[in-house]
Structure 1
Amino acid sequence: MKHLLIAASLAFSTGLAFADGDLKPQQGGVMAETQSGHRVELVAEADQLAVYLTDHGGKPVDSKGASGEVTLLVGSAKTTAALVPAGGNKLTAKAKAAAGAKAIVKVTLPGKAAEQVRLTLK
């Protein structure tokens, strides 16, 4: 009986530990998680880059008052564009990026320290 209880508690705790561990893009982009637990999804749109912010549980984080920048690295070329709030949990930057470009996304939420992630566009 004791072994059954231990096995059941391990099975349940393992399931809980991985319940929100997947970084599944909601907008078709690429995702990364900051050290503080915010999730950043970068989407290359026709004439701009969009960044969507969510918390560790996947709930949208309001972009109002947020700021940041996207730095694109393609070969030896480096381009930086400012991120501005675009409503909801979205920030945008006037920049174009092709697949394979490496991006450094830096976001500062109101009253918080800056957070940064590195991503590679697909």
Structure 2
Amino acid sequence: MRRLVVTSILLSMMLMMSHFALAHTEGHLATLTPPNGGQLRASGPFHLELVAKDGELTLYITDHGDNPIPTNGGQGKANIQVGKEGKKQSVVLEPVYANIMKAKGDFKITPETTVAVFLAIPGYETQGANFMPLASNGEGGEHHHHHHHDDDTADKEREHTH
């Protein structure tokens, strides 16, 4: 009887842990409303939210429970590229306050822009994540459309398949 209880407890814990791990996939994060209007990614123990504007990146770092991770003493780098053949630029992400890091540079953010972020926070392993801040295909946090489509039904079907 005791073995059955222990086995039941262990199985329950494993099931809860697997549910917790699955709850933080990119697909799940894409369904959430990012608190700062950016794009969410999971990276190791972190949730990373990137807010990208022309000339400025802001990165918010939390744990999987959405608790802020202090960035003091941390460092980071962002590689920005517009399209596959576009200009590449690297900028340094610096801690500015609490769980926020920022970078500034001479770059434009377009729907084709990709941003690869690399992050070193004291007490954690180095992490990285890829963002498409203005992705219009539902691949990330916000869904941006800057043009109208003739076939809205096809758009709705595409949204439901992601």
TM-score category of the 2 structures, normalised to the smaller one: 0.7 to 0.9
Q: Percent identity?
A: 27
Separation (CA, whole Å) in 2 of partners of 1:57 and 1:97: 32
Aligned match of 1:33: 42
Q: TM-score, normalised by structure 1?
A: 0.77
Where structure 2 has 5 or more consecutive residues not aligned to the other structure, the ranges are: 1-11, 135-162
Q: Which has the larger radius of gyration?
A: 2
More strand by share: 1
User: What are the equivalent positions in structure 2 for 1:1-122 lying under 5 Å apart?
Assistant: 17=19, 21=24, 22-23=28-29, 24=32, 25-34=34-43, 36-45=44-53, 47-75=55-83, 76=85, 77-95=87-105, 96-100=107-111, 101-122=113-134
Q: Is the 8 A contact 2:74 2:119 kept in 1?
A: yes
Structural RMSD (CA): 2.3
More helix by share: 2
Count how many residue pairs are aligned between Structure 1 and Structure 2: 109
Question: Deviations 1:38-83 (Å, cap 9, x if unpaired)?
Answer: 1111002464110000001111101111100111111221110000
Where structure 1 has 5 or more consecutive residues not aligned to the other structure, the ranges are: 1-9
Offset of 1:111 from its aligned partner?
A: 3.5
Q: Is the 8 A contact 1:48 1:93 kept in 2?
A: yes
After superposing on structure 2, the runs of 4+ consecutive aligned residues of structure 1 that deviate more than 6 Å are none
Q: TM-score, normalised by structure 2?
A: 0.60
